[in-house]
Chain A
Amino acid sequence: MIKHLKTLLRGEVDARCLEKPNVRWFIAYCIAIVLGSSVYGATIGLWRAPLQSVFTAIKFPLLIFLTCIGNGAVNGMLAQVLGSGLSFRQTAFAILMSFAVASLILGGFSPITLFILYNAPPLDVAHACLRHCLCWHRGESASPGVASKNEWARGDGARGFIQLARWESISGGAARLEFAPLYRLTPTRRPVPA
């Protein structure tokens, strides 16, 4: 499993992987997403409180999985419209692979995030949330996604997948809002409508 994930990180997983998706690979990608994103989520939530780190560690993998599922139908349609030649199942698998890469990178960033967290001002300081979140977490969580999509675009995957990735980023952001708060602790664990 680790060997296959290393191959995935190197971008050497070619289109043959999409032709015959393997169940073992599917499980490996899911484990990578759960481990990488939950560790990263825990470091984000720890800024507020230990309990929030537990919540965010659960929310972050769910956020990724639900983004995959939520975009499955749209991606399948767009892949065919854009002439990529990929089926619904293949696009879903490709998205899962790209999110696995992103999660592994985020997992690798977790010690750095923890260190930044140690040096960050308390949450109740004015504008601390804005400065810390926008400057670091947005960039850090966005860059692995871009990197993973670029890996796919560089390979012999469909070019139209870039378009899918852009759509996915937009809807992923919407899903993230749905799962808010990731930093602040709320008794309801759900965003309160305005």
Chain B
Amino acid sequence: MIRFGEISTKRFGMHFDIFSSDKNQTQKPTRIMNPPPLPSKQPSLFANNFVFEPMPDPGNPIRALENLLKYPGRIVHELHQTRAAILATWLLIFGIAGVAIYGIVVGAQSGGAQMWIAPAKLGFGTLLSVLICLPSLYIFTCLGGIDAQLRSVCGALFAAVCLSSILLIGFAPVAWIFSQSTDSIVFMGALHLLFWIIGIRFGLRLIGAMGRFLGATSRGHLRIWSVIFVLVCFQMTTTLRPIIAPSKTFLPTEKKFFLANWFETMNGTNEKKVK
């Protein structure tokens, strides 16, 4: 790796001497120009480039969505201002609506009544998961050394859900293509789960950014909470099952752990029970 040791101008024309040598050290100090500060380490390709700055036109919800995708740091900054409640409400509405829109694609696998059952279950399940995990997020935020207000924490969580739902909408055409191509519930379930994990990964990164913005002393607490939130969401899909496949009843009659449900679905035990 080439490092700029010294940049000096010679008598005839501008010549940049890249490598430092003993010859340059003997030159007069008047000829030496101070080099600009150069980064000693190359920034990583997917660095968290959150710039916490005020958001222009904060009252416009469409602009808020645009900023959430392009400049999420502005959203984090705006959630700690006086108009945070309005922004948080918009983010929650967009988040639930986005998940419900993706639910239509999920329900398209089976068609019929699932076209409205799947969006309703996914929207309700997301809202319930958020409400269940909100108290623990506030406690863990405080444990992480952050002096945050409840509305800021709510706003960050709603922003995370909203960002993940936007990404899910982006994945929706891909999911729809596969849903029209295959009848395998297991494959489609795994695909939807993969898309959701990608979306929520970016959403939870936003909560981590909030922690950095407010000067968290440790990241471990928010990571533990993230694991809990993901587990609650996984269990919520089992609680509100079936979401992809059709069913005679709106809600399940049997209580199950989500891993047991997944393994039974993969083994085909659930399909036999339906028949």
Contact = CB atoms under 8 A, between A and B. Distances in A.
B132 A112 contact: yes
B235 A105 contact: no
Given A108-B138, A109-B136, A121 B255 contact: yes
Nearest to B252: A119
Interface string A106-129: 011111101110111110000000
Name the prevailing secondary structure of the A interface residues. helix
B261 to A, nearest CB: 10
B138 A119 contact: no
A5 to B, nearest CB: 9
Interface in B121-163: 131-136, 138-140, 142-147
A119 B231 CA distance: 13
Contacts of A10: 142-147
Interface in B27-56: none
Nearest to A143: B224
Contact of B255 (A109, A120, A147): A120
A6 B135 contact: no
Contacts, number: 58
A104 interface: yes
B239 interface: yes
A181 interface: no
Interface string B248-260: 0000000111000
B238 A119 contact: yes
B228 interface: yes
A117 to B, nearest CB: 10
B113 to A, nearest CB: 24
A112 B228 contact: yes
A107 B135 CA distance: 8
Interface of B: 131-136, 138-140, 142-147, 217, 228, 232, 235, 238-239, 255-257
Q: Which 4 A-B pairs have the closest CB atoms?
A: A108-B139, A9-B142, A108-B136, A108-B135
Given A111-B133, A112-B133, 15 more contacts: A6-B147, A9-B143, A11-B143, A11-B145, A11-B217, A105-B139, A107-B139, A108-B140, A111-B136, A112-B132, A116-B235, A119-B255, A119-B256, A119-B257, A151-B143
6 contacts: A10-B142, A10-B143, A105-B139, A111-B133, A115-B132, A147-B143
